[in-house]
Chains A and B, each alone.
Chain A
Amino acid sequence: MSFSLSALRWQALRRDYRHLTGFKAGFGFAMLAILLAMGLFSPWLAPHPPNQQDLMAAMLPPDWTGPYVLGTDHVGRDILSRIIYGSRVSLIIAGAVAIFASATGVALGVIAGWFGGWIDDAIQKLVEIFWSFPPLMLAIAIVAFVGQGLGIVIIALTAQRWIPYCRVTRAETIALREREFILSARTLGASDGFIIRHHILPNVMLSIIVMTSFAMANAIIAESALSFLGLGVPPAIPTWGGMLSDARSYISTAWWMALFPGLAIFLTVLGMNLLGDALRSQFDPKLKSH
């Protein structure tokens, strides 16, 4: 192998790379838009009600010209419609987990970073404890013992998601605390709250946006894993993970039951990850993935 790394070539490469970033962002935004559209307009987009059954039309294979474009499941429900309605749960979970996790994580991170001392120590201990559960295990335990439900799943997934926010915010707050403009704001008598609101938070905002994209991707996968294990939201609500869980008993007889919901999860999560990556290389190339 030989590599020629002439200056000229580097320029061309950087252009390519920027090109790729654009593509990633575009794909990510497109996926986000599709997800939002599916979730918001499901009744208009879906050709059938998601729970409408027709036992006589069970397990029909995909048929691009028929009434069931992506086929039907074991009790004759339209797979396409269920995927469209299923986006709602993914959307709600991703949104809610991102909001709760970022709110909790950022608040604790800023407090720890800004005040330091025993407060910092206490919060760090909390981080250490919650971080010592392997990621999905705490969520599985919460849902298994406390019960099924949208709210419980959100709490279960938030239980660990706040930690990356807390870590990054804390580190950035500590770095900012000693900076010139903050020191001078302090000497001018600005209150802690004022400085945090007006100086710290705006500065950590970009990192938070980048992390949120990854957090949403993570929440969507985690929710579908829980549903797959039968620990997700109640069964009357269609979810992608739940559809996959149903499909397990029919892999060799009705592959479409497994293929399409899985593809929906995959493409959505791919979109979020690409978006996050594009945002990162745009705003904050130093931020490592969490």
Chain B
Amino acid sequence: MFVYFSKRLLGAIPVLVVVAGIVFALMQFAPGDAVSMLISDEASEADKARIREAWGLHRPPVVQFLNFLAKAAQGDFGMSFRYREPVMEIVLARLPATVELAMAATLVAVLVGIPLGVLAGARPGSIWDSLASTFSFAGISMPNFWMGILLILLFAGHWHILPSGGREPWGLGLDRITGFLLLDALLQGRGDAFAAALKHLALPAIVLGTNMMGIITQLTRASVQEALHEDFVMTARAKGLSAARVLWRHAFRNALIGVVTIIGLEFGALLSGAMIVETVFAWPGIGSLLVQGISSRDYPLIIGLVLVYTTIFILVNLLIDLAYTIIDPRIRIR
């Protein structure tokens, strides 16, 4: 199994190179000269030439790209044009915010989606089923930026129950241990900080998770229904096990495999959804950083972020495969 995962990880490297190449090629289409991002247009030609050379922009694009690859192989992803700090430092400082948001959104999706799906699947055609169905289709079809705006309007603007954006109030005084605020608050035994972080997290996580929640509900419903028809469930029932027990022990476990698959498949959508949700909620993650980076033509930052996104994406898919083997030992990885 270790060999298998190592192979998959190594196999990801050429993909990352090609992905970086595609983004690099796209950048060549961008109007204007990258130097204009670095220095005022009032600068003399000599100054511009000097800056161009200092940032390595005087070389042909192919050479620039190869240089980038060579440095990236050593972990150096260059300096951000906009922030004048190493790209990886900026990205890594903001990564926990995005991961925390994505995990919270997934949790919301699972915690709402699975019970709703089980309820609907166990009693197809009931009021629960219609309700779950309505809810799930609404979740799938809801544009998350719209939902975000409406929730901010209601919860922050109108009722003043939740903050309008950001990740924490100022002066929280929470030391960063893991970078995940909820976890850090727990580790330091800070109930107040936990509550504050949770308040900030609530709206963005719900908005981001809604889509996946809808999909999970539908999937759980279908697989629970299917499982209830299977022979072993029928047998279990015949043996006199209570319905609830059958449902949770057998049908639910079956459904879980599907749910894990969906989480993997939808994680990419979640990450790109996060770009927009982070923008709407001023969430200081890598999604809003990417949107800012694109609007300020911060090429080194954009490439760095695309690579980080892609890597996360590949890693998550790998983890999903791993999760299969845990949930269902019958699946063996070759």
* Residues of A near any B CB (own CB < 8 A): 1-5, 12-13, 15-17, 20, 128-129, 131-138, 140-142, 144-147, 217, 221, 224-225, 228-229, 241, 244, 247-248, 251-252, 255, 258-259, 262, 265-266, 269-270, 272-274, 277, 289
| Closest-CB distance, A2 to chain B (whole angstroms) | 5
Q: Is B68 an interface residue (CB 8 A)?
A: no
With A225-B145, A262-B149 already in contact, the answer to whether A134 and B228 are too (CB < 8 A) is: no
Interface string of B241-276 (1 = CB under 8 A from A): 011100100000000000000000000110111011
Instruction: Enumerate 15 A-B pairs (CB-CB under 8 Å) in ascending A order.
Output: A2-B243, A13-B125, A16-B124, A135-B269, A136-B275, A136-B276, A137-B271, A137-B272, A137-B275, A140-B290, A142-B26, A144-B294, A146-B30, A225-B143, A225-B145
Measured between beta carbons, the chain B residues less than 8 angstroms from A133 are 19, 306, 309-310
Q: Is B61 an interface residue (CB 8 A)?
A: no
Within 8 A of A (CB), among B10-47: 15-16, 18-19, 22-23, 26-27, 29-31
Inter-chain contact A228/B125, CB cutoff 8 Å: no
| Closest-CB distance, B318 to chain A (whole angstroms) | 12
With A13-B124, A17-B125 already in contact, the answer to whether A132 and B313 are too (CB < 8 A) is: yes
Interface residue count on the B side (C-beta < 8 Å): 55
| Closest-CB distance, B230 to chain A (whole angstroms) | 13
Q: A5 — nearest CB in chain B belongs to which residue?
A: B228
Q: Is B157 an interface residue (CB 8 A)?
A: yes
Q: A19 — nearest CB in chain B belongs to which residue?
A: B125
Q: How many A-B residue pairs have CB under 8 A?
A: 142
With A133-B310, A134-B313, A251-B152 already in contact, the answer to whether A1 and B244 are too (CB < 8 A) is: yes
| Distance A1 CA – B279 CA, assembled complex (angstroms) | 43
Q: Is B197 an interface residue (CB 8 A)?
A: no
Residue from the list A20, A135, A136, A141 in contact with B133, Cβ < 8 A: A20
Q: Is B99 an interface residue (CB 8 A)?
A: no
Q: A217 — nearest CB in chain B belongs to which residue?
A: B141
The 9 closest A-B pairs by CB, nearest first: A16-B125, A262-B146, A136-B272, A270-B141, A13-B125, A3-B243, A269-B141, A134-B272, A134-B271
